[in-house]
Structure 1
Amino acid sequence: MRIALFCHSLLSDWNHGNAHFLRGLVTELASRGHDVKVWEPHDAWSLENLVRDHGEAPLAAVGEVYPALDCTRYDLRGLDLDAAVGNADVVIVHEWSDHELVRRLGEAKARFGYTLLFHDTHHRSVTEVESMARYDLQHYDAVLAFGAVIRDLYLQHKWAKRAFVFHEAADARVFVPRPEIEKELDLVWIGNWGDDEREEELHEFLLGPVKRLGLRARVHGVRYPERALAALHDAGVEYGGWLPNYRVPEAFAKARVTVHVPRRPYAERLRGIPTIRPFEAMACGIPLVSAPWRDTEGLFRRGQDFLFAQNGAEMSAHLQRILSDSALAASLARAGRERVLSRHTCAHRADELLAIVDRIRREQRAPLETQPV
């Protein structure tokens, strides 16, 4: 099939977790012989920040790690939409896209007949409701929502006529254990400080336990204000700055344990959605302890694939157990990786995507096939 994907950016993962899964999905689809074209705005906020801080070199590196990515940067005002999607069989539009682009792609569907999908992997359906309601999805065949709760919101608000659950997953080509790398840390955390969406939680579930236990720890991420850097220093945590996501397996391999600290919208209002980090960590075979989130969809096996901590004291206890019990650490690492490889890889999601497209097409053909000749 010929597939066109419109997204914020695949070239940059600077404060842009959506790129992680989409890079793996595009790579998987291309490996199966599908022609996937990626379109991203020339002035993407993530890319501009990456280039400002690190220059153009990271963009070239992404092409080396993901040679199947065929990315075209466009200016919406000058975009020839007919040329971009005129021969496409499937068009997928990520939710972090301009409202005008979403509308124009919907209108173009009538001319070209492609299957049109809207892909949502963010918390804006509960944190920016007015903005989400302004997306014109009347001509879209369905929404791909990375959790049942978001799927249900689209249907309840009547933003879309149809929606499917389509969770993120790990790129098993990139996220693998690296046993040849020597351990040098007790704990590593990969994540951005963000916009006050989890500051209290980071103090309770990350910085507090690290300081209390005296762990050798490192943090990678961006958008750390001065107060955050001061808090890291006070807890004895090394700040490693931005790390290209494809190098995260190296960072995990250098540590004995990692933690997951969900942003508040996911922990409190978007049950069942872990976001991408736990998938990637478990794929790398590192023991994981998570702050609270509700696994209402049964993605993982609680206490077997990773440990839950209800508060900072419990997080400290779990970390201490893992660091002092090599058998427990090995069991968590093995079970978590097995779980991801058995049902949460980009190959699994490619299967699900193709099945959704096939279902939509078959149902659209059915009325025509039952008409009298």
Structure 2
Amino acid sequence: MTKPLDIVVIGLSLSSSWGNGHATTFRALIRGLNQQGHRVLFLERDVPWYASQRDLPAPDFCQLEYYSALAELTGKFGGAIQSADAVIIGSYVPEGVAVIDAVAALSPRRLCFYDIDTPVTLAKLDRGEEEYLALEQIPVFDAYFSFSGGEVLTRLERDYHARQAVDLYCSVDAERYYNTGEPQEWDLGYLGTYSPDRQPTLERLLIEPARALPHLRFVVAGPQYPTTIEWPSNVELIDHLPPHDHPSFYSRQRFTLNVTRADMIAAGWSPSVRLFEAAACGTPIISDYWRGLDEVFPDGEAVCIARSGEDVVKALTQMDEQHRKAMSLAAKVRVMQSHTGAARAKQLVSALEGLPERLSQRAPALDTVSA
């Protein structure tokens, strides 16, 4: 490893995992960076819906600071942004387009974008929606780190003119996600915030099987589900589940279900952090299908792909215990080898070190970041 890097991350949220998948992704990655000696300053917009739901208000693996407006971001933290070895702006940052312009104007040494929502972002841009990233801003970044890999990277460079598109999948903190050894409580569970485009798949792959198998137990955990949904009596509902409860939740399931957003299915090569979390906990996964899934978890070996409710019923009623355990072990081995926060941090640092430093006047040494 070369010298430790000073990295500024401007992201949607690190402090709160409520209603978003960004916090857990950033936590695993930044913990990995911290373990390898790098220093991170995370800047988060102080918004009421996260302020009231913070499950990590004071991380011990980076410096977390809040800003209330764009002027405060560039004024109070402008020096840190200019002197950092790299500045990474995430997707869905409030006033993201203005934030990108303002940060770029400060001429950081390396300016990157981390899109934790790549298929959603590209679909928005194709519709002319520039909620947190403008089409013309993509070439501004020295590197475009993408939640999605495979063909998506080619599209980013060819069609959206990214200088360099690099896959940076989400990851799992291997020290915090493990099987707790608790007795199994549910035959099939699902963890995820309500999403209209995921709900039909959840209906097909969990609710319908629950109706067909009234003697089995099911669970859905996540916020924002409408009260109009008709849940079978054997489906337990749990509101928001903070990350520290995820290992226990996964460990009490005989199988867990992964459901993918429509834009991510269309793009392919977009593994959810829930896949990696469940695998790290040794819970066998039943997942909907998308291109590239086999490259992460081979079907039948490390995951059970379900295209219908009947496939789920078959897995729940016919898969023997030996196959179930072998599938969970194969998935866990793959995650521990390639998809931990430590592994992802090494990938990020390697990519950053390969980027040339911008020709700009350096600011004083970064002194606002503590290890």
TM-score (norm 2): 0.86
Q: 3-state DSSP class of the match of 2:295?
A: coil
Aligned residue for 1:86?
82
Tell me whether 1:28 sits opposite 2:32 in the alignment.
Answer: yes
The equivalences for 1:186-201 within 5 A come to 186-194=187-195, 196-201=196-201
Aligned residue for 2:112?
117
Aligned residue for 2:363?
none
In structure 2, distance between residues paired with 1:133 and 1:336: 37
Letter in 2 for 1:355: S
The equivalences for 1:210-359 within 5 A come to 210-214=210-214, 215-228=216-229, 231-232=230-231, 234=232, 236-267=234-265, 269-295=266-292, 298-322=295-319, 325-359=320-354
Aligned residue for 1:370?
none
Cα displacement (A) at 1:106? 1.5
Give per-residue Cα distances to partners, 1:198-256, cap 9 Å, x unaligned: 2211110111112212221111101101122xx22x35211111100231111111221
Deviation beyond 3 Å, 4+ runs, structure 1:
132-135
Q: Any stretches of 5+ residues in structure 2 without a counterpart?
A: 360-371
In structure 1, distance between residues paired with 2:206 and 2:37: 43
Give per-residue Cα distances to partners, 1:315-362, cap 9 Å, x unaligned: 21112234xx22122111111111100111111111111111122139
8 Å Cα contact 2:186-2:219 kept in structure 1: yes
8 Å Cα contact 1:106-1:138 kept in structure 2: no
Cα displacement (A) at 1:69? 3.5
Aligned residue for 1:154?
156
Find the partner of 2:165 among 163, 166, 177: 163
Q: In angstroms, what is the RMSD of aligned CA positions?
A: 2.0
8 Å Cα contact 2:187-2:316 kept in structure 1: no
In structure 2, distance between residues paired with 1:84 and 1:250: 39
Cα displacement (A) at 1:135? 5.7
In structure 2, distance between residues paired with 1:264 and 1:158: 21
Q: 3-state DSSP class of the match of 2:223?
A: coil
The equivalences for 1:60-75 within 5 A come to 61-63=55-57, 66-74=59-67, 75=69
How many residues get paired? 342
Q: 3-state DSSP class of the match of 1:10?
A: coil
Q: 3-state DSSP class of the match of 2:228?
A: helix
8 Å Cα contact 2:39-2:62 kept in structure 1: no
Letter in 2 for 1:11: S
In structure 1, distance between residues paired with 2:105 and 2:33: 26
Letter in 2 for 1:279: F
Aligned residue for 1:39?
43
Give per-residue Cα distances to partners, 1:72-116, cap 9 Å, x unaligned: 11021322142331321111110212111111112212xx4x221
Cα displacement (A) at 1:159? 4.3
In structure 2, distance between residues paired with 1:150 and 1:13: 26
8 Å Cα contact 1:38-1:71 kept in structure 2: yes
In structure 2, distance between residues paired with 1:177 and 1:63: 26
TM-score (norm 1): 0.86
Q: Percent identity?
A: 25
In structure 1, distance between residues paired with 2:213 and 2:23: 34
8 Å Cα contact 1:106-1:137 kept in structure 2: no
Q: 3-state DSSP class of the match of 1:328?
A: helix
Q: 3-state DSSP class of the match of 1:292?
A: coil
